[in-house]
Amino acid sequence: MGNGQGRLGFEDFNLKPELLKGLQEAGLNSASAIQQQSLLAIFAGKSLLAKATNGSGRTEAFVIALLEKCHSTKNAIQGLVLVPTRELALQTSNVLGLLGKHMDMKYIVAKGDDLVRLSGEVHILIATPGRLLDLAHEDACNLSRCQLIVMDEADRFFCPELLPILEDIVQFLPSQRRQFLMYSATYPSAMVHFKNCHLTDVHEVNFKEQLTLNGVSQFYICVEENRKVFCLTKALSTFQINQVIIFCNSVTRVKLLARKMTHLGYPCLFFHPGLFQSERQQVLQDAWSGACQSMVCSSHFMRGIETESVNVVINFDFPRGPQTYLHRTGRFSRLGLAISFVTQRDRIDLLRLQKAMGTKILPMPAAIDPVLYT
């Protein structure tokens, strides 16, 4: 744990009974490290800067805070969740619906019919920065009473294109008694500058290194390029898989591999930037519902998308750098297995990755005990 405390049960936070019931029905009884650190800081009135990877439970952390601190009796937008992609917005909406199903909390994901929906009662708004700024300029949403502002995958907002939009959004927020909750895997310099300008009484936590390794058994397989598909099908037949995500380094390779797997009798979903919005939503819904065991995707497009039942990740193509590896393997909610295929030309990258992350990725043993990842 980041502060040396024992794990707290959610009942220790004196949450609303309806929220506690939703947590219990979702099988969430005790707080993870980042959930505990986040909730203690948020309920103490502090802003939060948390370095954490996918699969750490951060979505549940800020959703619990939103549901606890927002009040259904107040007809105002009290909570805002800024996300970089519509897929992440839908994931957040799903978690809000799951944990808040016994509460009369109204929340929406910003999309085409916003003018109609925002004219009704809304307590929590989920939006991408560009869409939110459009709504604010159109006077379609009043953010003057919004005191809890979540920024998920926050580092993605601090690029030259989005930073001015973010600064404009701040002008629509209340100047007093506001809390920013920023969750990110990295801290770009522009993000640090934003924190210094706009955040007060900030609590900072860092779970990045712990979560990169915690619960994930990491191995590699040396393989020639033309033997990768054979190794993949063997792995799929050998491991005890709940759900598996298979990563490729390009959209073309995603399409080719998904087609090949299906032809070989391994049905799979595939996910990449070239899909239409409706297709992406359907794929994510199928993944969340467990309709298909395998998903092939391009890594940058799956960043931030968490599916609770994933217990195996296979890097069909070796990741291009430590951050890509981190975002791929960090999506486990509990125990997990990460297997990387390493060709001759990937070996130097494997050594660099281990050095950069301060970890040891072991050669694949003849057998892996399922207790490590199930």
> Mind listing the pLDDT tens digit of every residue in the chain (374 residues)?
334 456 789 999 999 999 999 999 888 888 888 899 999 999 999 999 998 766 668 899 999 999 999 999 999 999 999 999 888 888 899 889 889 999 999 999 997 666 656 777 899 999 999 999 999 998 889 999 999 999 999 988 998 889 999 999 999 999 888 999 999 877 888 888 999 999 989 999 886 544 455 678 999 999 999 999 999 999 999 999 988 999 999 989 999 999 999 999 999 988 877 777 677 777 777 776 677 889 999 865 555 455 667 889 999 999 988 878 877 886 555 678 999 999 999 999 999 999 888 888 999 998 898 888 87
With respect to residue 152, please indicate whether it lies within any of the assigned structural domains.
yes
Structure tokens at 281: 């939503």
Of 209, 233, 254, which residue is a domain's last?
Answer: 209
Distance CA 276, CA 84 (A): 17
CB-side exposure of 278: number of CA atoms within 13 Å?
0
Q: Residue 321: how many CB atoms within 10 A of its CB?
A: 11
Q: Are 246 and 314 in contact (CB under 8 A)?
A: yes
142 CB burial (10 A radius; 0-12, 13-18, 19+): middle
Distance CA 313, CA 207 (A): 21
Q: Are 3 and 176 in contact (CB under 8 A)?
A: no
Of 163, 192, 209, which residue is a domain's last?
Answer: 209
Which pTM was predicted?
0.64
262 shares its domain with 279: yes
Q: Are 311 and 338 in contact (CB under 8 A)?
A: no
CATH of the domain at 34: 3.40.50.300
263 shares its domain with 203: no
